[in-house]
Chain A
Amino acid sequence: MNKYWKSILVFTMIVLGIGTFYAQSIFASGGYPDFKIKTIAGDAKEAEAIQVRAHYSAPKYEGSVTITANGTSDMNDLTFWERLDGMINNPDYRRLTTDYRQFMRGKYMWGQNMYEDDDHLAYADIHYDFRSFQAGNFNFNIAVLDKENDETNEFTYDVKDDRAINHMYVESVEKVDDELKVFTTINRYSNGSDEHEIRLYIFDLNTQDLVDVKTVESVVDEGEYDAYLQMLRESDTLKPKDYVVFRRELIEHKVVEDEANGNYEEPHTVESDLIVYNLKTDELETLDMPKQLEEKARVNLFDGKNLYFTEANDTGLTIITYSIKDQNILHERHVDIDHAENVEEYAHLTVQNDRFYINYNQPESNQLPTIYILDTETGDIVYEGNIVAKTPADLPEDYSFSIFQLAVQ
């Protein structure tokens, strides 16, 4: 035995040292307070769908936490394998890769390139070759899953165009009956007059043929004016909708003279209007909006049917719901919010499943966020709550908390 004491000593040290360390790491608590959503008014059930992601930093912890009505988790609460597959980022991605694992293989989902209804899951992506700093050979990869019989309709289509395209990407994928409508943005760059085009490709899913291509809108930068075409991102990009809406903007970069810090350019909106494409009739609609809305701050949200205009002031946030179909204001509601000075900058808004969600906090204020939920049909506030630490003592004196994502499942 005497002969072996050195080896035995080292072996014991390894088992004890490494064993204890990893046993501790398995049983260790996260290092963050257990946050939860506390109901102040309304039905607690309303908050169950909410998932808030925030950056929390305290003397002993710095990282992203995910908060739901039930409690808090962070990266370390997922298994090693779940983290690898990027499960934490997006609840939709997690659900789709779990439920339709085979279909989702090799698919890069960034929201707007997918569509989902009760029977189908559709995907469109544009691939291209990239050689000597010039992209070329753009082609569509399209796949539609029939959920019922688990069959995938998959095909590709080569983009043909007379003029060189610098960049092209998918803006939105919509399935209407047996047609797949893929909205794309096409950029062409040339000296001083860059061109941006929204182009729609319509595919027949039965024959896998292209049935129609049309330019929805196209703009060109002129002189000191920059032109922009942007799709209004609806909060739930997957679900079917009636309209697709784009904002067209003309921006002038004015030079502001500043003797202290040197001159800088400030963007200034010259023109801004909305382009509405009706997916059922395949026609553009003109919005005859009340002057009150046209002059108001930009429209932020769209749920496929209605546009939601917001206006912030010191007492809170006013939400104006405008119906595209009826071409009128459905309702206007003011939500009183405490410490609303920076509501415009720090409120996270989303609209989903007929609910309008407001999640607000000021990162520097050492205050935890408040949550308001409105019914989009009636405009009524159906829920008010805030995020709190289950055990207030867990919250250190000095911390910072800032929301970066508000998702609804």
Chain B
Amino acid sequence: MKRYVKLVNFEFNRIAKVYAVLLGIILTSQIIGVMITANGYLKKADKAMNEDMMSKAEFLQMYGQMDFHNIAYSIWFIGPIALSVAAVAFYIFLIWYRDWFGKNTFAYRLLTLPTARLNVFFAKLTTIVLMTFGFIAFQFIIYPIESTVMKWMVPKDFRIDLTFHELTQQMLDLGLLYPTEPMLFLLHYGIGIIAVTILFTVILFERSFRWKGIIFGVIYSAVAGIVIFLPLILQEFLLNGYFYPSELIRLSMLAGVIVLAGSIALSGYLLNKKIRI
């Protein structure tokens, strides 16, 4: 356990600087987004009321009050989120390959550490999870700040204050990243973690057998996919809708856990027996 914690800390420190920069980008970009959007709205109101001589009521009737949706759909808000998603996706591969293609064959040292090699696998997986959850938590934490900036800029009569919960409830795309309820969070990110372990296994196949490994990897992903979707496939083609949807999701979750265990076991085997430095 202690070794594992040490390895996680070590892995996280290797990306910490880049990670901090990304958090910084999110914060600044989103705050700029709030200011620009609020400013645009106020200018529009100013023009409508002072140049076109609309009353306040007419303006609100025509353009509506401002709420955070106006901001959330701007590139300043979505952009850095997309960047973070891309960064994590990229790092899933880099976290392994940097050990092989770095300055010195770091993989050699990592794999000769006096600890179970699977700990290296878990440490890398944990790092990816920490990064992802960190981004989500960061968004939850900075939202009230952004919301306050909007409150400073837009007068009360012209705005509707939304909680982050109210914001994401009506946005399908953001709702996918920030599900509004705990059970959906577990499902979405459970699927994510299973996908990452499958990718890790594919990477280890490749590191073990090089080109041939990619083929093994593709076959393994296909098998894993079939196992995960097996309850759905059976339900549709053999069982005539025998299971209720809630039962079907539970069965799929069980299938997911089986695939997760399979990926970990297979990765352990590859790391211990087949890996090439």
Which residues of A approach B to under 8 Å, CB–CB? 3-4, 6-7, 10-11, 13-18, 20-22, 24-26, 28, 31, 59-60, 62, 76, 80-82, 84-86, 97, 105-108
Task: Please tell me if the beta carbons of A14 and B137 are within 8 angstroms of each other in the complex.
Answer: yes
Which residues of the partner chain A approach B242 to less than 8 Å between Cβ atoms? 105-106
B243 at the interface (CB under 8 A from A): yes
Task: Please tell me if the beta carbons of A18 and B180 are within 8 angstroms of each other in the complex.
Answer: no
B181 at the interface (CB under 8 A from A): yes
Which residues of the partner chain B approach A18 to less than 8 Å between Cβ atoms? 133, 136-137, 140, 185
Task: Please tell me if the beta carbons of A20 and B246 are within 8 angstroms of each other in the complex.
Answer: no
Task: Please tell me if the beta carbons of B241 and A60 are within 8 angstroms of each other in the complex.
Answer: no
Contact status of A7 and B13, CB under 8 A, knowing A16-B141, A84-B246: yes
**Chain A, interface SS category:** helix
Rounded to whole Å, the gap between the CB of A7 and the closest CB of chain B is: 5
Which residues of the partner chain A approach B134 to less than 8 Å between Cβ atoms? 10, 13-14
Rounded to whole Å, the gap between the CB of B2 and the closest CB of chain A is: 12
Which residues of the partner chain B approach A60 to less than 8 Å between Cβ atoms? 160, 162, 166
Contact status of A84 and B243, CB under 8 A, knowing A14-B134, A18-B136, A20-B140: no
Task: Please tell me if the beta carbons of A17 and B140 are within 8 angstroms of each other in the complex.
Answer: yes
Contact status of A84 and B245, CB under 8 A, knowing A10-B130, A21-B164: yes
Closest to A23 in B: B182
Task: Please tell me if the beta carbons of B245 and A85 are within 8 angstroms of each other in the complex.
Answer: yes
Closest 4 CB pairs of A and B: A17-B137, A80-B183, A81-B246, A106-B241
**Chain B, interface SS category:** helix
Closest to A8 in B: B9
B147 at the interface (CB under 8 A from A): no
A-B interface contact total, Cβ < 8 Å: 89
Rounded to whole Å, the gap between the CB of A3 and the closest CB of chain B is: 7
Task: Please tell me if the beta carbons of A4 and B9 are within 8 angstroms of each other in the complex.
Answer: yes
**New contact pairs (5) apart from A3-B9, A13-B137, A25-B181, CB-CB < 8 Å:** A7-B130, A10-B134, A13-B138, A17-B141, A22-B182
B165 at the interface (CB under 8 A from A): yes
- Chain B 131-167 near chain A by CB (<8 Å), digits 1 or 0: 0011011111100000000000000000010111110
Rounded to whole Å, the gap between the CB of A345 and the closest CB of chain B is: 26
Rounded to whole Å, the gap between the CB of B69 and the closest CB of chain A is: 12
B12 at the interface (CB under 8 A from A): yes
Closest to A82 in B: B246
Which residues of the partner chain B approach A108 to less than 8 Å between Cβ atoms? 241
B112 at the interface (CB under 8 A from A): no
Which residues of the partner chain B approach A28 to less than 8 Å between Cβ atoms? 163, 165
Which residues of the partner chain B approach A85 to less than 8 Å between Cβ atoms? 244-246
Contact status of A106 and B240, CB under 8 A, knowing A7-B8, A16-B137, A59-B65: yes
Rounded to whole Å, the gap between the CB of A62 and the closest CB of chain B is: 7
* Cβ contacts A to B, 17 pairs, < 8 Å: A6-B9, A6-B13, A7-B8, A10-B12, A10-B130, A13-B137, A14-B136, A15-B137, A18-B133, A21-B164, A21-B178, A24-B163, A25-B181, A59-B65, A60-B162, A80-B181, A80-B184
Q: A338 vs B241: C-alpha distance in the bound complex, in angstroms?
A: 48
Task: Please tell me if the beta carbons of A106 and B140 are within 8 angstroms of each other in the complex.
Answer: no
B233 at the interface (CB under 8 A from A): no
